[in-house]
Chain A
Amino acid sequence: MRNRKRKGWHRIINGVTISTFFVVIFVAAPLYWLIATSFKTPANLGDSPPQYFPHPISTQNYHDAFVTNDFGIYFRNSLIVTLIATALVLVLGTMAGYALGRLPMRGKFTLMVTLLIISVFPEIAVIAPLYLLLRNIGWLNSYQALIIPYTAFNLPFAVWILRNYMLGIPKEMEETGRIDGAGPIRTVWSIIVPMALPGVFTAGIFCFTACWTEFLMALTFNISNNFRTIPVGIAEFGTVFTVPYGTIFAASTVAVVPIGILVFIFRKFVISGLTSGAVKG
């Protein structure tokens, strides 16, 4: 209702659309640069002035990333760690969110605040003890070295989101389950979870993104080539004298695509998560 009615060419070209155009350029230009660079030939990467459009278009960098380097391994590792951690967060988070949102427990308030404080704690504060612990039990360079901390670090936020969704479900819903003689776990699974599904999606996409992008723990715990995740792999590409930008950008493009598709499909839930008061970047 604050939009003024515009006529003629003002409908197409006006302050708003021009500003939007600049916003699109601001956001998209570096993304374009990433993708365009990945398709340049290794020789053209160093052109000065740079090639604004890759010519000729080459897939040599993708070959370098997957065949010459082990990007395939890093991608697989990231996928394994992220998927398992996200699944664990969703199962444990749904159960805890249900209990904290709908069951009469004492000390709920203290628990929720403790979780909130933990969710904002900087990773650097726990990295040394976790490293020493993992080293003592021989778990450095393993999937569980990342799955367990990722699950723990993403649970508080998921519990908060899911609890908030659980609160909004009418309380009569459990009654139907109880009357049918369903046990508590079945009630949650078949009645509550379907109703809280938007919350599950929101928590899931946030957890997935956080695990997919995490760097500090992955760098500290899993440095061996066979257990590196994508961020560590990409960062380590660049430790030789010349930074192999072609390889890096081919790998980066592949890493950005799945999460980009996921975020695009679930954008409604991401936005609802961002605005439900529990904001996390």
Chain B
Amino acid sequence: MTTISSAADQAPVAEPLVGRPDVNRKRLARLGWAFTAPALIFVGAVTIFPIIYSVVLSLSNVTVSGSGFSLNGFTTSNYRVVLTNATWHYALFFTIIYTFVTVLVELVLGTMIALVLERLAGGRGWMMALLLLPWSMITVINAELWGYIYQGTYGVAEAIFTALGLPVPAAGFLGTQYPAIISLMVADIWKTTPFVAIIVLAGLVMLPGDVYEAAEVDGSSGWSTFWRITVPLLRPTLALAVLFRVLQAFGLFDLPYVLTNGGPGTSTTSLAILGYNAMFKDLHFGTGAAVATTTALLVLLGCLVSLRTFKVQVGKEGD
């Protein structure tokens, strides 16, 4: 996180303009706080306060009745329940595997697409626009669309598989654990790969051309140029794409909620679905909050770790 500070500290600050600098500086600082306050109040009231309250909920005995709910003292039992629960173990495992596989595939496919489009002589703007469509699509719609594609009796996936001579899973694409997980991943990969491709493409376009000329003079082949020059130069771009995809995938909710409803059984129940069901289906607000809080902690941890590993300069990137 230290890299952020250096970038923020170096940020050019608009100098005071007229009159005595010290007086002006104070006045401008007051103005700054006045301008920032409304945004901070909004964000604080709707995010920071609930996050704290979520932690409180997760550490309390929560009883829900018809008229409302009440907190009856401190307890760690919510966390004990969650941490020893087999469904939570599975949801954690599923969310991690899902995140890992989808992000990896999206990164590889997205990079391949970006490398192709970079060599495209014309129409790149149109391709970018096309790639943005899946990104801007409502995830619920994506889920319904793939639900129709995977549908057991009239889905087009079965028709295509049969035409190609591929085996169709006996219980359908969403009927058993592994096919359901893979089908879910395919729907996600379709929606998000274009997004990764755009980020990588934008990074590729900005790479300095003379490095490649030098490589060509030195007789470097395409494959080694890619691994020795393109990948290292792209690393900051790739790292950011990966980081945000990982964080987003970890909060996975919409797609499995609509496409598989977490099933069959609990085989596609992500941490967010588990937390949601605990709170709003079973009305166990304490355990639900514990699931939510642990998920948030894992996200924070993942954020810090990946920032360190990739040495991403968040502040600098933005300038």
Which residues on A are within 8 Å of B, measured CB to CB?
A: 1-3, 11, 16-17, 19-20, 23-24, 26-28, 30-31, 33-34, 37, 45-50, 88, 92-93, 95-96, 98-106, 108-109, 111-113, 115-118, 120-133, 136, 148-149, 151-153, 155-156, 159-160, 163-164, 167-168, 171, 174-175, 178, 184, 188, 209, 212-213, 215-216, 220, 230-232, 234-235, 238, 243, 245, 248-249, 252, 255-256, 259-260, 262-264, 267, 270-271, 274-281
Contacts and interface: CB of A to CB of B under 8 A. Distances in A.
Given A20-B117, A23-B116, A152-B47, A281 B279 contact: no
Given A156-B43, A184-B35, 15 more contacts: A31-B134, A103-B14, A105-B29, A106-B29, A108-B11, A121-B299, A123-B272, A127-B292, A136-B68, A215-B257, A231-B138, A245-B144, A252-B141, A276-B318, A281-B195
27 contacts: A20-B120, A31-B133, A34-B145, A95-B36, A96-B38, A103-B32, A104-B14, A106-B29, A113-B4, A121-B299, A124-B251, A125-B295, A126-B51, A129-B53, A148-B42, A159-B39, A164-B318, A164-B319, A178-B18, A215-B138, A231-B139, A232-B140, A235-B257, A256-B141, A260-B136, A277-B314, A279-B199
Interface in B156-208: 156, 159, 190, 192, 194-195, 198-199, 202-203, 206
Contact of B134 (A27, A188, A270): A27
A48 B138 contact: no
Interface string B222-241: 00000000000000010011
A28 B237 CA distance: 26
Contact of B258 (A149, A238, A262): A238
B36 A123 contact: no
Contacts of A220: 276, 280
A279 B25 CA distance: 33
- Chain B interface size, under 10 / 10 to 19 / 20 to 34 / 35 or more: 35 or more
A122 B53 CA distance: 15
B94 interface: no
A3 to B, nearest CB: 6
Contacts of B315: 112
A209 to B, nearest CB: 5
Nearest to A23: B113
Nearest to A1: B209
Nearest to A136: B68
B36 A279 contact: no
A11 B212 CA distance: 22
Nearest to B244: A279
Q: What DSSP secondary structure best describes chain B's contact surface? A: helix
Contacts of A96: 35-36, 38-40
B148 to A, nearest CB: 5
A178 B15 CA distance: 13
B42 A152 contact: yes
Interface in B111-157: 113, 116-121, 125, 127-141, 143-149, 151, 153-156
Given A24-B130, A99-B32, A171-B15, A281 B192 contact: yes
B144 A234 contact: yes
Given A215-B254, A248-B144, A167 B51 contact: no
Contact of B35 (A103, A130, A156): A103
A27 B293 contact: no
